[in-house]
Structure 1
Amino acid sequence: MAIALQFAGFDINNLRVSVSPLSELMAVLHVLAEPDHHFESSAKVQAIARNLDDRLIAEFNALSPLWARFRARFFFPVSTEPKQNLDLELAGMAALPLEAFVSMAAEAIRGFSKDLPAAQQLLRDEKVRREFLDTCRSRSLGRFELAEQLLNDPEQFRQRIIEFCLDCWNSFFKMEWEDLALTVGRAAAQLAGKLNQTDPIATIASLSVTAKAFRGASEVRFDKLQQRRVKMAERELLLVPSHWIGNHLTVKDNAGYPVIVHFPAQTRQEDLLQIHQMRGRLSALSADSRMELFRHISAEPMTTSELAVRLGQPAAQISRSLRVLREAGLVVSDRHGKLVYHRIDTATVLRMGPDLLATLTR
């Protein structure tokens, strides 16, 4: 599955790179809501959580569907004009047409955008409203309560979100942003420079290891658990760097607003595994014979001949098994004089759990 950005007819003048403190705040809230998916930030998450008061924690828990798996679109810039100031971005959220705000909130509360009724129907059609509330209730009581408040008084709901963001700013995010603004600003400047010098399609594809550029089709495809094709002709595209997003990347393409690509500012993409690489590692360990061999060299480095004697297998079979494990990145072979010793790559094996989670959730 993939989100494909189709650039045929795209005006390069509609491409911008921008820093967004509101999007970064949303990324922090997302990590706080789903710490198991962001193990690399666990220490910082715990430090922030310890400093939150009970009232803010209660409001965070109640509103968390808005930034959990499906991030609400209103946390991202609503125009390509640079607004590197939280107050200005919150003013942009406050100025959104009511129906646009309701649609953005409703899709985040429900948790997916497929076949979302129009805002007018949600607000005025009793049958549509009831079906939407029933869907939210089937997901969780918290989602149902948020959906009910949204439809009963959308302006009060919007004000609740804005006030929560300001409380977060005063509680912890102002200091966090002071530390991060330079990092994400530098990433934005570097990307803008790269876009001026190289092929934009290739540059956009370089934002994620999950992306592929198809120059013949003028298309970039991001491997995501969604299936969408976004025609970029007459659309604006805004690339927003983030520190807290970790290895993840988010694409938002709500009609009438810039397409957003929210990408990691610092992650070394060449160090991230693609799905086929993780599949290869799991496959390499799936055979009983290779797992037994793997267990022996986890205890001590051994030569092919030593393994053949210990396992009672022909040396050629041992060599084939070692090759599979080595190609999967799980085994290292070191020459000492005339002998070659095989050992497990301990660092790679220790990372398999976190790597698997990161690969699945990107």
Structure 2
Amino acid sequence: MAIALQFAGFDTNNLRVSVSPLAELMAVLHVWAEPDHHFESSDEVQAIARNLDERMIAEFNALSPLWARFRARFFFPVGTESNQTFDRELAGVAALPLEEFVSMAAEAIRGFSKDLPAALELLHDEKIRREFLDTCRSRSLGRFELAEQLLEDPEKFRRRIIGFCSDCWSSFFRKEWEDLALTIGRAAAQLAGRLNRADPIATIASLSVTAKAFLGTSEVRFDKLQQRRVKMSQRELLLVPSRWIGNHLTVKDNAGYPVIVHFPAQTRQEELLQIQQMRDRLSALSADSRLELFRHISAEPMTTSELAVRLGQPAAQVSRSLRVLREAGLVVSDRHGKLVYHRIDTATVLRMGPDLLATLTR
């Protein structure tokens, strides 16, 4: 599955890099809400949470569907200005037309965008409203309660979100942003420079290891658990760097607003795995004979001939097994004089659990 951005007819004057403090606050809240998907940052965000009062923690828990897997669009820039202050971004949320705010909030509360009824139908058509609430209830009681509150009084709901974000700013995020702004600003400036020097499609694809550029068809595909194609002709595109989002890339393409690519500013992309690489590693250990070999060399480095004796297998068969494990990045072979010793790559093996989770959820 993939999200494909189709750039045929795209005007590069509509491509910008934007720094967004509100999107970065949303990233912090997302990590806090889903620590299992962001284990590399969970300790940092928990340290922040320990300094918050019970009222803010309760409000965070109640509103968390808005920044869970399907982040609300209004947390990302709604205009084309490259860099805005936190207050101006919140003012942009307050100024959104009510119907569009309701659509963005309803989409996030439900947790997926497919076949979302129009805002006016959600607000005024009793049958459609009831079906929407039933869908939210089937997902969780918390989502159902949020949906009820949204449809009962959308403006009150909007004020609640803006108030919570303002409380986050004053209680912890103002200081956090002072530390982050330089890093994220530097990443934005570097990307803007690359876009000026290099092919924009290839540059956009370089933002994530999950992406592939198809220059012949002017397309970038992001490997995501979603399937859609976005025609970029006549659309604006904002590339928004994030430090807190880890290695997770998000694409938002709500009609009438700039397409957003929210990408990691610091993650070393060369260290992230393609799904095929993870599949190769799991496959390499799936055969009993290779797993038994792997257990032997996890205890101590061994030569091919030693392994053949230990396993009771021909040396040629052991060599084939070693080659599969080595190509999967799980085994390292070192020459000492005339002998070659094989050992597991301990660092890679220790990372397999976190790498698997990161590969599946980004």
TM-score by length of 2: 0.99
* 1:266 equivalent in structure 2: 266
Structure 2 counterpart SS, 1:40: coil
SS in 1 for 2:351: helix
Amino acid of the structure 1 residue aligned with 2:102: V
Aligned equivalents of 2:326, 2:281: Cα separation in 1 = 10
Counterpart of 1:105 in structure 2 is: 105
Corresponding residue of 2:340: 340
What's 2:321 paired with? Answer: 321
Unaligned runs of at least 5 residues, structure 2: none
> Match of 1:251, SS?
strand
Question: What is the CA–CA distance in structure 2 between the aligned matches of 1:83 and 1:156, rounded to whole Å?
Answer: 28
Tell me the residue number matched to 2:180.
Answer: 180
Task: Write the letter of the residue equivalent to 1:228.
Answer: R
The reply on whether 1:72 has 2:72 as its aligned counterpart is: yes
Deviations 1:205-237 (A, max 9, x none): 000000000011010000000001000000000
Partners of 1:42 and 1:147 lie apart in 2 by 28
Shift of 1:49: 1.4
- Paired residue secondary structure (1:241): strand
Deviations 1:74-97 (A, max 9, x none): 000001113431100000000000
Aligned residue runs from structure 1 range 250-289, under 5 A: 250-289=250-289
Match of 2:116 in 1: 116
Q: CA deviation at 1:323?
A: 0.3
User: Aligned equivalents of 1:81 and 1:178: distance in 2?
Assistant: 20
Note if 1:204 corresponds to 2:209.
no
Partner in structure 1 of residue 22 of structure 2: 22
Aligned to 1:296: 296
- Report the Cα distance in structure 2 between the residues aligned to 1:62 and 1:42, rounded to whole angstroms: 19
Alpha-carbon shift at residue 285 of structure 1 (Å)? 0.1
Does structure 1 retain, via aligned residues, the 8 Å contact 2:16–2:82? no
Summarize deviations over 1:136-168 as a string: whole Å, max 9, x none.
011111000000000000000000000000000
Which residue does the alignment assign to 1:43? Answer: 43
* Alpha carbons 1:72, 1:108 under 8 Å: kept: yes
Q: Secondary structure at the match of 2:167?
A: helix
Give the aligned CA root-mean-square deviation in angstroms: 0.5
* Number of matched pairs: 362
**Within 1, Cα distance between the matches of 2:101 and 2:82?**
20
User: Which residue of 1 is the match for residue 159 of structure 2?
Assistant: 159
Q: Alpha-carbon deviation of 1:42? A: 2.1
Displacement of 1:46: 1.8
For 1:131, the aligned partner's letter is E
Code of the residue aligned with 1:65 in structure 2: it is: P
Question: How many Å separate the matches in 1 of 2:294 and 2:135?
Answer: 48
Question: Could you tell me how far apart the structure 2 residues matched to 1:301 and 1:172 are?
Answer: 50
Q: Distance in 2 between matches of 1:49 and 1:93?
A: 25
Amino acid aligned to 2:236: E
Indicate the residue corresponding to 1:4 in structure 2: 4
Contact 1:83 1:89 in 2 (8 A): no
Match of 1:62 in 2: 62
